[in-house]
Chain A
Amino acid sequence: MSTVITPTAAATPSSAAGREKPTRSEDNRAGWFFIAPALVLIGVFFFLPVGGSLLLSITDFDIYAIADPRNARVVWLRNYIDLLSNPVFWTAVKNTFYFALVGGPLTVATSLGAALLINARIVKYKAFFRTVFFIPFVTTLVAVAIVWRYLYHPQYGFLNYMLGWFGLGPIEWLGDPRWAMPSIILMAVWKNFGYNMLIFLAGLQNIPGELYEASDLDGAGPLRQFWHITLPMLAPTFLFVGVITMIGYFQLFAEPYVMTSGGPLRSTTSLVLLMYEEGFRWWRMGVAAAVAFILFLIILAWTQLQFRLQREGR
């Protein structure tokens, strides 16, 4: 029997490590010795900075403070208040949600579609298609973003050329504020669907074949089988894939950085891009830390929401 490991399930320590026996002091020493390097590294270079980020966000830490940290003063919630009245911040929030809420479901749907196609009983060379569809995922994002920038070229790009076959376009893909984000979403779906597809394939293969055989006898068609067997059996996979995809998509950065620099007219400025610009271009690190923390809260709230929806859906 197989189960999908969700973050909560993984967080519950398994009993396989033998709770029956009491802790021996040698085990104690050995255990801490073995986790020490990882713990120190993660503590010092991840958890400590995350805490530091919260502190940083209530200061006016800027370029003068980089020269001498004593120049930073505590301003409490002023960075947050300033952000809430800053239209660029709200644009970034809107763009980030646009990308995640449209791109996320589109990616998951494409992944599921690809997995269902490959998993179809009549398909041969499954491994070949699986590999091909997975290739975009392993490529370097920066490099393919540059490639896509040329594919999107309004005059010489392939996309407009192909639209021309159908008498459509031309579209100013990355140059038009209305089209820039859809263009980035399209590329992101192309780049990322292969990963979720693998997870869905594994999920599909774990559905017992007897379920389909039984419903074959009942005379259920493929559509009904999909709706009443495949989808419900994939529910845990959906949760895992959905959470992972959305967490990743809320962190949109490299695509707009390389393809549009956040433009045109800020139409592709994401929260992380805003954080990068504030923090590492203008060195307003206090403000940037506040942006980062708001992003964290958004991701946390969204993940909670997905888990709750899943629980109620059952």
Chain B
Amino acid sequence: MQNRLGRILIYTLLAIGTAISLLPMLWMISASFMPAGQANSFPPRLLPSDPTLEHYQAMFTRLNLGRYLFNSTLIATTVTALSLIVNSMAGYAFAKLRFRGRDRVFRLLAMGLVIPVQVSMLPLFLLMRQLGLVNTYWGVIIPGLASIFGIFLIRQYTLSLPDDLLDAARMDGASELRIYWSIVLPVIRPILATLAIWTFLSTWNDFMWPLIVLSDDSMFTLPVALANLSGERVQDTELMMAGSVLTVLPVLLVFLFLQRSYVEGITMGSVKG
């Protein structure tokens, strides 16, 4: 009897949690198909009376959304591809190569983890200005290319790689670069997948630095464009929901398709077996 009550209680709570987690997203999708004005009615509507695609059309034709989609995709994929190489090289070296000063450099990087990134943003903006990178894609991309978190994640995983494997390759006369490329990278592929998804999602969702470094409308990423638009068109609820759907949908799809390796990697980053 007590067991049955416990079961009902637990499933009720889980159902409530599921509803709370999903409802804001579902309402966003539903409202994006409502005719203009319908989302602002009382009592609030759950579903559109006659669904329309006009807000999506308006987004792509009048509001330049295709361009923002392109900017976001370009920046997120470039950062993901390049940072994977940079971080995996460093993570592997910290885990498996003995070199002078390694531990000291590693401790220095660890200290960087508690420094909030905003502390660097003002001088970074001035630096980017000197380099002529303000309002360019590279201005957004370059600061994301190396990540202390990413290096830690790779290092943590690579530590468990057997040394014999690498030493055997060295005996055979393989160069260090070759060992990294043809032995290490294939073996650590699971963690590379995690880091790739993590980097893509966080670059796509990033807001503050793109907001600072991009000034032209045509260069905006989706979050920056959306924040900008929401200031001007606060009344157009349905339009803003269409914009939100188009911003969230890509990351949601990436997550849902690749969630296995993503979720496993996140727990690996904090808890190491």
Which A residues are closer than 8 A to B by beta carbons? 2-5, 7, 10-11, 13-14, 16-19, 21, 23-24, 26-35, 37-39, 41-42, 44-50, 52-53, 55-56, 66, 114, 117-118, 120, 122-123, 129-136, 138-144, 146-151, 153, 155-158, 161, 190, 194-195, 198-199, 201-203, 206, 237, 240, 247, 250-251, 253-254, 257-258, 272, 275-276, 279-280, 285, 288-289, 292-293, 295-296, 299-300, 303
Contact = CB atoms under 8 A, between A and B. Distances in A.
Interface residues of B, number: 108
Main SS of the interface on chain A? helix
Contact of A50 (B44, B120, B205): B120
Interface in B107-125: 107, 109-125
Interface string B234-265: 00010011011001100110011001000100
A305 to B, nearest CB: 12
Nearest to B175: A30
* Residue of B98, B106, B126, B151 contacting most chain A CB atoms (<10 Å): B98
Contacts of B251: 138-140
B227 A138 contact: no
Contact of A202 (B40, B114, B270): B270
A27 B43 CA distance: 70
Given A133-B17, A142-B247, A299-B114, A148 B24 contact: yes
Nearest to B87: A38
B259 A131 contact: yes
Interface of B: 3, 6-7, 10-11, 13-14, 17-18, 20-25, 27-28, 31, 39-44, 85-87, 89-90, 92-100, 102-103, 105-107, 109-127, 129, 142-143, 145-146, 148, 151-152, 156, 159-160, 163, 176, 180, 201, 204-205, 207-208, 212, 222-224, 226-227, 230, 237, 240-241, 243-244, 247-248, 251-252, 255-256, 259, 263, 266-267, 269-273
B99 A30 contact: yes
Contacts of A130: 263
A158 B44 contact: yes
A8 B163 CA distance: 25
A139 to B, nearest CB: 5
Contacts of B271: 2-5, 199, 202-203, 206, 237
Contacts of B117: 46, 251
Contact of B10 (A23, A53, A123, A275): A123
A115 to B, nearest CB: 11
Given A37-B89, A288-B122, A47 B230 contact: no
